[in-house]
Every structure is written in structure tokens, then in C-alpha cells.
Amino acid sequence: MGSGVYENEDRPGRRGSAAVGRGRPLWVEEAARRRRMPDPVRKAAVRAVLIVSVVLTQATVAFLLAVAGSWLAFPMALGAIAGTVVATWGVLDVWITRQTWNQRYGVVSVPSSTARELRRDRRRARRAARSGHISVASGGMR
């Protein structure tokens, strides 16, 4: 009431619905749609976004100075061109870092249907061997 925390009865727009929201949590976690980027890739992406945003701002200022006829337009345009080269490097750095990380750590092994079938055959052979029936098509035990 006077503690600064609303109860359901005192919350604006919720009058008369005290029992409805009582057991519902305030925050509900949802599963992520995509996995989180690896740290090196995320660092490169943040760096690239910052570089690109600075270069876009610089190019906008250069354009506005050119429209205004200021003498600063030419140096700013040269800076924007150099910044474009740096921004291209930053975006390529994200791509190369991502590819390198995937090659080193990101191997996701998804068994093909033939590998699954071979494992299934081996399991059948092991079960048969345990139960006393020796199978000729064991396919090589571990």
C-alpha cells in the first residue's frame, strides 16, 4: 500500500482482478531462437557496427558540408572514403573471424542416415550377443 510496490488490488487498471494475476510471474523466460555468437565473433561484430556507424555519420556530415559549400567538405569526404575502407575491413573481419571460429570449434556432427543405420545394427548385435544369440552381421564391435 504505502511501500511503493503495487499489489494487484492497487495497480492502476487492474481493479477487481486480484486473483487473476496472483500466480503469474512478472518475467517469463523464452528459449532463444538462435544460439549466441561466440565471443570473438561478437567482439568483431560490435567493432564493425561501431566503425560503420562512425563512417556513416562522417559521410553524412561530408555531404551536408558539401551542400553548404564549406571548405571542410573536401577533407571530410577524404575521411569518409578512408573510413569506408576501414569499415569494409571491419565487416570482412567479422566474416573471417566467424569462418575461423567455425573451422576450429564449430563442427556440428550430424550423423547421416547410413551412420545411424550402422549404429542401429551394432546395437542389435550387442543385444543379441547379450541374450545369447550370436549375430554374424555385427559390423564390428567397439
Q: Which residues contact 128 (CB under 8 A, 6 or more apart)?
A: 134, 135
Confidence band of 118 (pLDDT split at 50, 70, 90):
confident
Question: What pTM does this model have?
Answer: 0.54
In Å, how far from its chain's centre is CA 114? 31
Confidence band of 27 (pLDDT split at 50, 70, 90):
confident
Listed range (47-51, 114-118, 119-123) with the worst mean pLDDT: 114-118
pLDDT at 88: 96
The amino acid that residue 37 corresponds to is: M
- Helix pair angle (39-68, 73-104), 10° resolution: 170
Phi-psi region at 16: left, alpha or beta (left = phi > 0; alpha = psi -120 to 50):
left
Listed range (15-24, 57-66, 70-79) with the worst mean pLDDT: 15-24
